[in-house]
Structure 1
Amino acid sequence: MQEKWERWEPIGDLSLKYYVESLSDSIEGFKILLSDAYDENKKVEVIFEDSVHAYRSTDESFRQSVINKIDEQYGTQFYAEWTFFKVANSEYIQWLSEQSYGISESESLIHFCFLAGDSIVDVVAAYEPKITII
């Protein structure tokens, strides 16, 4: 089954495009700090307060195949000026399921994807994060 990407607008007043400023995985949770691509003083903090099941951060040049698929399926305007996405029928979740011998199928997982200006951060969690403009 083919992946289905959807734009995700977790809160209002988000800018169109962000850069990843930092990632933090600690006992306090998983945090992503994003800087507005057009005004670096505007930032957004994405906080998964409990642990996440998996995440990966990849330079966008190493994910060209995914970007090309999104471009072919939805067009450039769909992703070029937006950062926040959810992915249904996720290949990443499917891979995690295979790696865990199906353990990951015991709960409902959500694949969040942050298509930033410089990198792509994929996060798999069982719940939505808290998003704050700072």
Structure 2
Amino acid sequence: MEKNNREPEMQEEWIKLEQYGIPKGEFIVTELIQDCEGTKVVLGDEKDSVEIFFDGIPVLVRNTVEGMRMGTWGAVQQKYSDRSFFRDETLFEVKNSKLVQWCVEESCGFYEADELKHYCVVTGEELVDIVAAFEPTVKIGPLQDSL
């Protein structure tokens, strides 16, 4: 029987992508734009702005409120025995992703699992899942006043 994400032995691996240098903080999504340039997720907190940009069109972009992902959220915390696993962390890669499996199945062979990566942007209010064949670029700067 296939394991689902709500079981303690969940198959997904959630890897914190610290190499991008995103500062720890309580970010919110201030913009989510997908157009002919690519897909951009802009985050802000009290002092910093973070732009996560996918140059091109990802295979899938899914935006959910955190309450909709409580099953996965809890299973990840249980898997890593860390109730604060997501606290102050923002960008993750999900290996052995059920979402990537779904994309492969739905594409009827157009995509292969090893071609796709599942990224997840986590804030206290939202989770943005992005499945893409390429890595994002990340820009970090001070929060700009809108006045």
**What is the TM-score of this pair, normalised by structure 1?**
0.90
SS in 2 for 1:79: coil
Q: Indicate how the Cα distance of structure 1 residues 106 and 70 shifts in structure 2: closer, same or farther if over 3 A, else same.
A: closer
Asked which structure has the greater CA Rg, the reply is 2
User: Would you say the 8 A contact 1:107–1:126 is kept in 2?
Assistant: no
**Separation (CA, whole Å) in 2 of partners of 1:42 and 1:16:** 8
**Contact 2:54-2:136 within 8 A present in 1 as well:** yes
- Per-residue CA deviation, residues 74-101 of structure 1 (Å, 9 max, x unaligned), is 1122212211100000000001111112
* Higher relative helix content: 1
1:90 corresponds to 2:97: yes
TM-score (structure 2 length as normaliser): 0.82
* Residue segments in structure 2 that go unaligned for 5+ positions in a row: 4-10, 142-147
Shift of 1:13: 5.3
Whole-Å separation in 2 of the counterparts to 1:30 and 1:49: 7
Runs of 4+ in 1 over 6 A off after TM superposition: none
CA RMSD of aligned residues (A): 1.6
Letter in 2 for 1:45: E
CA contact 1:46–1:130 (8 Å) conserved in 2: yes
Q: Aligned partner of 1:25: which letter?
A: Q
* 1:12 paired residue number: 21
Q: Determine whether 1:24 maps to 2:41.
A: no
Q: Which residue of 2 aligns with 1:56?
A: 62
Task: Answer whether contact 1:23 1:31 (CA < 8 A) is retained.
Answer: yes
Distance in 1 (alpha carbons) for counterparts of 2:111 and 2:72 = 23
Distance 1:70 1:107 in 2: 22
Measure how far apart 1:17 and its partner are.
3.4
Q: How many residues align?
A: 131
Counterparts of 1:127 and 1:55 in 2: how far apart (Å)? Answer: 13
